[in-house]
Every structure is written in C-alpha cells, then in structure tokens.
C-alpha cells in the first residue's frame, strides 16, 4: 500500500497503527510528536488503535515553544 509521510511517498506491506508507523519510521521524541492523518489530528490516546490505510497522508508535527521576552 502507498501512503504519503511528510510529503514523501512511502510503500508499506500492510496497514499499520500510528504507533507501529512511528516505530517503522524511527520517529524520534515520540512523546512530543503530533500525528495528523488526512488533515485530522489523531489524539495520542488513539495511536495504538488508529489504522493507517492505503492512500492516507500522514504528517509528523513537532510544536516548539519560544519567542521574544
């Protein structure tokens, strides 16, 4: 199956959960990543049950704080 991860086409053998995809893609600092699938934010509590399917578009997003005082 083909999916898009952060703008890059990726081929997977079968459907995977968000947790499995994070591991397969060696995503660092998984506790800080927000996952968006087809423009919907997936709650981290659902990472184990939300299944990535053929044609999905996945974005791994990191929100960083900062700014001027």
29-55 pLDDT, tens digit each? 888 899 999 999 999 999 999 999 999
The domain that holds 57 is classified in CATH as 3.10.20.30
Angle at 17 between CA 39 and CA 58, to 5 degrees: 25
17-29 pLDDT, tens digit each? 999 999 999 998 8
Residue 64 in this model has a pLDDT that exceeds 90: no
- Per the structure, the complete domain to which residue 55 belongs is given by 2-62
Q: Is residue 69 included in any domain, yes or no? A: no
How many structural domains comprise the chain? 1
Q: Is residue 67 included in any domain, yes or no? A: no
Q: Tell me the pTM.
A: 0.87
Per the CB < 8 A criterion, the answer to whether 30 and 18 are in contact is no
pLDDT of 2: 97
């Amino acid at each position: 199956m083909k999916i898009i991860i952060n703008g890059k086409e990726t081929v997977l053998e079968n459907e995977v959960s968000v947790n499995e995809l994070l591991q397969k893609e060696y995503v660092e600092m998984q506790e800080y990543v927000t996952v968006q699938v087809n423009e919907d934010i997936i709650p981290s509590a659902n990472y184990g049950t939300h299944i990535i399917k053929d044609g999905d578009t996945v974005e791994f997003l990191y929100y960083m704080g900062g700014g001027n005082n």
